[in-house]
Structure 1
Amino acid sequence: MPLSPKLAHILPVIMLIGSNLFMTIAWYGHLKVKSASLVLIVLASWGIAFFEYWLAVPANRIGHTVYSAAQLKTIQEVVTLTVFTGFSVVYLKEPITLNHLIGFALIAAGAAFIFRG
């Protein structure tokens, strides 16, 4: 059964936010765990990434009914920066500097061109 157009627009974004939470944890969550071996860290990261794929792949499949592939990738990148910024500040306790904010703003400006008419 096809999704309503409104749901087809918003559901992929919600799913990409979820997938990015998993992927950010898989890629950066281990940075505070210094005692585990690299092999264990990689295996744990793969396990977390498995769940990320269960959100990202359907999000792109559903999203491609209303967005182009370039738009989906752009949404993914903006979501990634947003999720990572929060994760970096809250979990890693690393500050976001003015240079970070300017760089992210430039990326957001580039993203705006992808969605422009």
Structure 2
Amino acid sequence: MPFSFSPAAIYPILMLLASNVFMTFAWYGHLKHKSTAIWIAIITSWGIAFFEYCLAVPANRLGSEVYSTAQLKTIQEVITLLVFSGFSVFWLGENLTWNHAIGFALIAVGASFIFRG
């Protein structure tokens, strides 16, 4: 199915991007605050994840009008790599290496096959 720049094609991607920011903070944000009790980290993460679901569920429903479920999942995974890369550098202060870049690029090349034919 050919790509178009219609709202039904773009909005799910933007919503998945925003939802992934929430989920990345829910899963990994607490690593910057390891002295906080784990039960507080869990409850806080659940609270953050709620907003991720409020974006991801409608994004997938809207996106299913334009994309197959395999394409939606692939979009989500590529977004995850992009968001996580930025998050780990800017929030956690970690460095990305050439190995990371090559590995992520290979995953992106593999993901591109989902959108062929």
TM normalised by structure 2 equals 0.95
Give the corresponding residue for 2:7. 7
Give the aligned partner of residue 70 of structure 1. 70
The CA distance in 2 between the partners of 1:99 and 1:35, in whole Å, is 31
Structure 2 distance, partners of 1:70, 1:35, is 39
Give every structure 1 segment of 4 or more consecutive aligned residues whose post-TM-superposition deviation is greater than 2 Å. Answer: none
Q: CA RMSD in A?
A: 1.2
Structure 1: gaps spanning 5 or more residues: none
Question: What is residue 61 of structure 1 aligned with on the other side?
Answer: 61
Q: Per-residue displacement from partner, 1:29-59 (whole Å, max 9, x unpaired)?
A: 0001022111110000000000000000000
After TM superposition, the structure 1 = structure 2 runs for residues 1-117 of structure 1, keeping only pairs within 5 Å, are 6-117=6-117
Amino acid in the other structure paired with 1:53:
Y
Which residue identity does 1:94 align to in structure 2?
E
Q: Deviations over 1:42-90 (max 9, x none)?
A: 0000000000000000000000000000000000000000000000111
Identical-residue share of aligned pairs (%): 66
Distance across 1 between alignment mates of 2:106 and 2:99: 11
State the number of aligned residues: 114
**Code of the aligned partner of 2:29:** G
Measured in 1, the distance between the counterparts of 2:26 and 2:40 equals: 12
Distance 1:100 1:60 in 2: 28
Secondary structure of residue in 1 paired with 2:43: helix
What amino acid is aligned across from residue 101 of structure 2 in structure 1?
A: L
